Amino acid sequence: MPQTISLNDMNKHFISLTDFRRNAGSYIDTLAQKGPYAILRGSRVVAQLIAPIESEPELSTEERIKKVRELSGGFKLSINLTPKQLNEEYDKIYDEMLPR
């Protein structure tokens, strides 16, 4: 029976389990540069070692609030209108939008 390698396995580096046990530190150190490793026991893949995905740094609470305010749109929090004045402004907008 012919041995075939899938296209997904072409860029992996195959290493034996024994070799990985002896040199795990060096494999982990070079993981980001060389790409994923497939660890073999006999002729079967028993594990895959891949580099972690880089995540964005955590934002502080103030930065999160600022981002939410930027993304939310809508009202500007610094407008100086009373609720009555705000309702009058909305009434004007609705009168312009609604057909007569």
Read off the pLDDT of residues 29-71 as tens digits, 9 standing for 90 and up: 998 888 889 999 988 999 999 988 877 778 888 888 888 877 7
Beta bridge partners of 44: 41
Q: Which of 9-18, 47-56, 68-77 has the highest mean pLDDT?
A: 47-56
Asked if 17 contacts 39 with a C-beta cutoff of 8 angstroms, the reply is yes
Q: Can you tell me the distance from the alpha carbon of 23 to that of 39, in angstroms, rounded to the nearest whole number?
A: 12
**Ranges for all domains in the chain classified under CATH 3.40.1620:** 7-49
Confidence grade of residue 76 (pLDDT, cut at 50, 70, 90): low
Does residue 6 carry a pLDDT above 70?
no
Res 3: pLDDT: 62
The average confidence (pLDDT) of the chain is: 80
Beta bridge partners of 41: 44
- What's the CATH architecture for 7-49? 3-Layer(aba) Sandwich (3.40)
Q: Can you tell me the distance from the alpha carbon of 10 to that of 35, in angstroms, rounded to the nearest whole number?
A: 11
